[in-house]
Chains A and B, each alone.
Chain A
Amino acid sequence: MRHTPRQRLGWSGAFLIIAVCSLVPVLWIIFLSLKTPATATDGSFIPHAWTLSNYSDIFNEGIFTSALRNSIGIALIATALAVVFASAAAYAIARLNFPGKQLILSVSLAVVVFPQVSLVGPLYNLWRTIGLYDTWPGLIIPYMTFALPLSIFVLSSFFREIPWELEQAAQIDGATPFQAFRKVIAPLATPGIVTTFIIVFIICWNDFIFAISLTSTTRAETVPAAIAQFPGASQFTQPIGDIAAAAVVVTIPVMILVLLFQRRIVSGLTAGAVKG
């Protein structure tokens, strides 16, 4: 390591600035969630009076615990389905020769840039007609769909990195293309699949627009939608402490994922272009 003290100082300064900019809003919402109702609006960054009552409040209300259950279930199922479908498609795109490959990539790209609000009206209408409104599948289906393109891109770039020769060797040994997929490629592909799973889970976990449009009760409402509809003490006041506490709780899973898998998430999002 031949870095001058000046370089180290400069880098430390940059690191500090980035850390402050990234973390201040997170610290703020955590502190806000720990303020007592009387001091919630005092405007000080660090609480003067600390309490955990906001957390016990939200966990005693059915609306939040059911929203948490819905969020976890819906995000996990949608992510699992998206990753299964996308793995199959990405394998074909990375490994096989077939007509229409470009079409699949174009359709995926179109889905990525699609303004989701444009789908909300017709889906709302359709879901009410066929009984999917305010149900788990009613959210799982759009989440899975919008997660597919990114999953396909990320997975196919991972799959391209897998050494061809092993698959060919398996096929020379008499394995069918499907066996080669299952026994040789699948184990090698696991890191890419895990990465994709994490990224897609974060996306599903974060969704707001489908959640507020396609759900209305505790049956299927996810946390982001529930937070936005927390009942205040009166019609015109927001329950700041409760909202902040719920915001912190819903942030914890993504924080854990980011801390544990930062390297994977970065390499997944930059599609293997960066050697971490």
Chain B
Amino acid sequence: MSSGAVAAPGAATSPKRERPHLTDRARSERKLALILVGPAAIVMIAVIAYPLIDTVILSLQRADLRFPAANKFVGLSNYGHVLSSSIFWHDLKSTLIISVISVSIQFVLGMLLALAMHRAIFARGTLRAIALVPYAIVAVVAAYSWQYAWSLDSGWIPKLLGLTGDPLSHTFGTYVAVIITEIWKNTPFMALLLLAGLALVPDELLEAAKVDGANAWQRFYRITIPLMKPAILVALLFRSLDAFRIFDTIYIFNQGANGTETLSMLNYSTLLDRLNLGLGSALSVILLVLVGIIAFIFIRVFGAAAGPAGSNV
């Protein structure tokens, strides 16, 4: 590529947004940007915004697909109905139990896995491929594998543990099995998000601390963790939001029987089994608000930089 060709006027100056008079170059740049971004933006907004507005409208109506003639505006009564039902609070509790426990353990294991991947002495590629297996596997397959492993009828785990009763026949056993499934499936992704943060910790700093007499734990706790804080917060934010909408595992295990129903499961069954769009939509809106609150807590209270740092996703 020779650089001797005639330069288009203004091509060398990079346009600034504040400039009152846009150059031709800047104007064509904006036009191109619009053409390029437009389709993606329109798709996202159309496919999300229309159903979202529809959800809000439906949540204010009595709308039951089985009795379409009885539709009418009922104000906030669907919300009152949801928030005063014990099922909602029970399901919120089980969603929180599963999310908090599984994300906490995922964080610890994910950190260990990230350290192992980061400090790999040999077989780095093999380790990476092995660690990616649970992440890439179909969620339904993971759930079936663990369900059959725990089931007294077919599984090797009850046999290994010497259990005589079916662990999946009561709440505690089901929680354990579901949480282990979630941990197995999602720890690799947690580890990858943390690995991105580990890569930002300069080796020289750790070496210097070592020379100064800091032991391995002190180096990790005083240097690595603080430097990784942004990556840790982003990882916890995304994993928490994802855990909070847990659906596949619960559906495959028992569709929420044994008291382990989660909010997504309840929302799904209200909408698509009971076909009660009014109540289901109110639940959807509440679920959205809860997700918003979790995101808000992470971003505002803990200061997770989830802007373009979402490029960590």
Which residues in A have some Cβ–Cβ distance to B below 8 Å? 1, 3, 7-8, 11, 14-15, 18-19, 21-23, 25-26, 28-29, 32, 40-41, 43-45, 85-86, 88-89, 91-93, 96-102, 104-109, 111-126, 141-142, 144-145, 148-150, 152-154, 156-157, 166, 169-174, 177-178, 202, 205-206, 208-209, 212-213, 223-224, 227-228, 240, 243-244, 247, 250-251, 254-255, 257-259, 262-263, 265-266, 269-271, 273-276
Contacts and interface: CB of A to CB of B under 8 A. Distances in A.
Contacts of A247: 138, 140-141, 144-145
Contacts of A109: 306-307, 310
Contacts, number: 327
A148 B287 contact: no
Contacts of B45: 107
A208 B140 contact: yes
Given A92-B37, A121-B284, A43 B7 contact: no
Contacts of B50: 122, 126
B251 A208 contact: yes
B311 A156 contact: yes
State the main secondary structure of chain A at its contact with B.
Answer: helix
Interface in B98-136: 113, 116, 119-125, 127-134, 136
Given A169-B3, A174-B5, A274-B196, A145 B51 contact: no
Interface in B29-48: 29-30, 32-37, 39-41, 43-45, 47-48
Interface residues of B, number: 112
A259 to B, nearest CB: 5
Given A115-B264, A117-B245, A247-B145, 4 more contacts: A15-B123, A28-B148, A120-B272, A276-B128
Contacts of A106: 307
Contacts of A41: 153-154
Contact of B144 (A45, A111, A227): A227
A178 B36 CA distance: 10
B200 interface: yes
